C-alpha cells in the first residue's frame, strides 16, 4: 500500500536495486543500503 512503511523506494523501474549510472562498487553499496532498508522495514511494526 502506498505510504506503508514496508515499501522501500528503489532506484527507478529499470534497475530497482541498482543504478547503471554508478561505478560497480558504488552500485553494490547502494544495493546493500536498499536491502538493509527492506530488512529494517521488516523488523518494524506498523506505525500507528
Binding residues for other proteins, rule: CB under 8 A, are 1, 4, 6, 10, 13-18, 20, 27-28, 31-32, 34-36, 38-39, 42-46
Of 26 and 36, the one with the shorter C-beta distance to other proteins is 36
Q: Which residues touch 30 (CB under 8 Å, ≥6 apart)?
A: 11, 18, 19, 22
Residue 34: which of 3, 14, 7 has the closest Cα?
7
Q: How far is the CB of 29 from other proteins (least distance, A)?
A: 10
**Cβ 34 to other proteins, closest distance in Å?**
7
Cell numbers that stand for 3 in this block? 505510504
Amino acid at each position: 500500500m502506498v505510504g506503508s512503511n514496508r515499501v522501500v523506494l528503489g532506484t527507478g523501474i529499470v534497475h530497482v536495486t541498482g543504478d547503471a549510472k554508478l561505478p560497480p562498487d558504488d552500485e553494490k553499496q547502494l544495493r546493500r543500503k536498499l536491502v538493509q532498508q527492506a530488512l529494517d522495514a521488516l523488523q518494524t511494526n506498523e506505525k500507528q
